[in-house]
Amino acid sequence: MPLEVKHLSHTYAKGEPEETQALADVSFTVEDGEFLAIIGHTGSGKSTLLQHLDGLLRPDAGSITIHGTVITDPKTPKVEIRRRIGLVFQYPEYQLFEETVSEDVAFGPKNLGIEGEALTQRVDHALRLTGLDPDTIGDKSPFELSGGQKRRVAIAGVLAMKPDLMILDEPTAGLDPQARQELLSVIGRIHKEEGNITILVSHNMDDVARMADKVLVMDQGRAVMFGTPREVFSRGEELEGIGLGVPGVTALIRGLNRKGYHLPEELLDREQAAEAIAAAVQPMPNVPDAQGQRKG
């Protein structure tokens, strides 16, 4: 099993008055090459889960295994966890610090002991995967770049570690629509080419619907739903009940169904939704108050 999370539990401030159970018996499995999205409102346990996946926190109970390495085992060396799991934090562009783009991307692999030609190759490959040209941009200061480009450099820095699992925490926050679309395409391409497991944490349900093979929904420290985007987003009422939402297309269809239409709520593609709506509406136009023949 590529990524297996089993009965993971974590309690903050154990034994103190403000004791909080942040994770309660969370279990799920992600197959190799799958794209998982994690959604949940602030305080749902999402961040605590991420910190476990990245080996920053140890659970009270349960385990996380990736490609046979038990990262929750205290005996597993930290460097092994760093090598296998790449985490791109929120607003990662604030963490760029080297003088040139290439040096910044090289920082991680260098720490793994990679040097010379192998290092250059990794750096160039990582930059190209994010859509940046190492020849024109490699020697520039990261601070000369645009916001969207800086974010790609930060992602390249994580990619250069060749992680088995890449986690992106709100990668499109604060980007304009075009930069957002471009970055999502880049993430999709990286996922396809590297064939690794990608985890996207997002508040944007449209991004989740577009990118993910599977969606994990967190609420009050529990994994309350796990399934394909279609399965998860067809449970709109429950999602709203826990402070989340549905993609725009789903919201439209649900609104129409409340007014008496019977459209399939699992449609996520805009064109498919348009076809379904047009088919449902088509027979009626320009026939106001049509006197349909009653059956029976």
Partner 1 sequence: MADFIEIKDLVFDYINEETGEETRAIDHLCAGISEGSFTAVLGRNGSGKSTLAKMINVLMLPTAGSVMVDGMDTADEEHTWEIRQACAMVFQNPDNQLVSSIVEDDVAFGPENLGMEPAEIRQRVEKALAAVRMGKYRRKALHQLSGGQKQRIAIAGAVAMHPRCILFDEPTAMLDPQGRREVLEIIRRLHSEGITCILITHYMEEAALADRILVMDHGTICMDGTPREIFCQPERLRSLGLEVPLAVDMAARLRAHGLPLPEGIVTIEELTEGLCRWK
Query: Considering the rule CB under 8 A, would residue 224 count as an interface residue with partner 1?
Result: no
Query: Considering the rule CB under 8 A, would residue 244 count as an interface residue with partner 1?
Result: yes
Q: Residue from 136, 282, 291, 293 that binds partner 1 (CB under 8 A)? A: 282
For residue 175, the minimal CB distance to partner 1 (Å) is 6
Query: Considering the rule CB under 8 A, would residue 264 count as an interface residue with partner 1?
Result: no
Nearer to partner 1, 88 or 123 (CB): 88
Nearer to partner 1, 113 or 283 (CB): 283
What lies within 8 Å, CB to CB, of 203 at 6+ separation is 39, 170, 173
Q: Residue from 197, 205, 212, 216 that binds partner 1 (CB under 8 A)? A: 205
β-pairing, 165-169 vs 85-88, is parallel
For residue 180, the minimal CB distance to partner 1 (Å) is 8
Query: Considering the rule CB under 8 A, would residue 259 count as an interface residue with partner 1?
Result: yes
Q: 3-state secondary structure string, the chain?
A: CCEEEEEEEEEECCCCCCCEEEEEEEEEEECCCCEEEEECCCCCCHHHHHHHHCCCCCCCEEEEEECCEECCCCCCCHHHHHHHEEEECCCHHHHCCCCCHHHHHHHHHHHCCCCHHHHHHHHHHHHHHCCCCHHHHCCCCHHHCCHHHHHHHHHHHHHCCCCCEEEEECCCCCCCHHHHHHHHHHHHHHHHHHCCEEEEECCCHHHHHHHCCEEEEEECCEEEEEECHHHHHCCHHHHHHCCCCCCHHHHHHHHHHHCCCCCCCCCCCHHHHHHHHHHHHCCCCCCCCCCCCCCC
CB 89 within 8 A of CB 29: no
Kindly determine how many residues on this chain lie close enough to bind partner 1 according to the rule CB under 8 A. 44
For residue 293, the minimal CB distance to partner 1 (Å) is 19
Footprint of partner 1 on 161-190 (CB under 8 A): 170, 173-181
For residue 126, the minimal CB distance to partner 1 (Å) is 23
Nearer to partner 1, 121 or 272 (CB): 272
Nearer to partner 1, 136 or 178 (CB): 178
Choices 54-62, 125-133, 153-161, 284-292; region in contact with partner 1 by CB under 8 A? 284-292
Choices 27-35, 67-75, 128-136, 253-261; region in contact with partner 1 by CB under 8 A? 253-261
* Residues 23-62, mask of contacts with partner 1 (x by CB under 8 A): -----------------xxxx-------------------
Interface with partner 1 (CB under 8 A): 40-43, 90, 146-148, 170, 173-181, 203, 205, 243-245, 248-249, 251-252, 255-256, 259-261, 270-271, 273-275, 277-278, 281-282, 284-286
